[in-house]
Amino acid sequence: MKNLFSFFFLLFSFFSYSQIQHCGFDFTSYLVVDVHENGKNVNIDDLKITVIDKEGNEVINANNTLSWKDGNKPMIFTKNYLISKEGEKERWFFPYAKDNYLLSVTNTFPAENYAIKIEDLGKKFKTQIIDLNSFNLYILCSSENEKQARKFGPRSNSPIEVVMEE
């Protein structure tokens, strides 16, 4: 009986040490768009920002393969919003984005296959199409971010900056 107890203790110890701690964002990245007028740093309201394919078609998140939310719907950005109450320190839903537009995507999102289409619903600004790259992703878990940091070229975790033209 003593040997059986020792065996189970050893087995339990092995499994508990072999577990890998996960980050809350392990399987999620974000695309963040900072879109403003030339010379201003305030983001423009009432924009529709959509992920499109190379032919210009809206991308549908078929069976949640590209994002963990809004399955079988077009991939449309939303504006970040404040979650703090009046009188509290300013806190944003997605703290890395401030008043930018954002979209949650999977870590395996093939950014190079897509672009974003930015349309002004008020018809003041011209529509723009911007190609995406893997460095446009906000990689929030430290292990993935460390891998990205060892690569040459543009760094991840920076918003896609777009200056709208009238």
Within a domain: 31: yes
Query: Which residue positions in the chain have pLDDT lower than 70?
Result: 1-27, 140-156
The total number of structural domains that make up the chain: 1
> What is each CA distance from 45 to 39, 48, 60, 160, 162, in whole angstroms?
16, 9, 24, 16, 13
- Token look-up 């190079």 returns 112
Within a domain: 5: no
Within a domain: 14: no
Looking at residue 156, what is its pLDDT?
A: 60
Q: Residue 37: which of 117, 124, 98 has the closest Cα?
A: 124
Within a domain: 16: no
Which residue blocks in the chain are alpha helix, DSSP H? 2-18, 142-149
Within a domain: 96: yes
Which residues in 56-158 belong to E strands, given as ranges? Answer: 78-79, 101-106, 114-120, 128-131, 137-139
Within a domain: 1: no
Domain interval for residue 120: 23-164
Within a domain: 89: yes
Within a domain: 113: yes
Looking at residue 108, what is its pLDDT?
A: 86
Cα–Cα distance, 15 to 91 (Å, whole number): 39
Handedness of CA 91, 97, 102, 108 (dihedral sign): negative
Q: Residue 140: which of 111, 105, 113 has the closest Cα?
A: 105
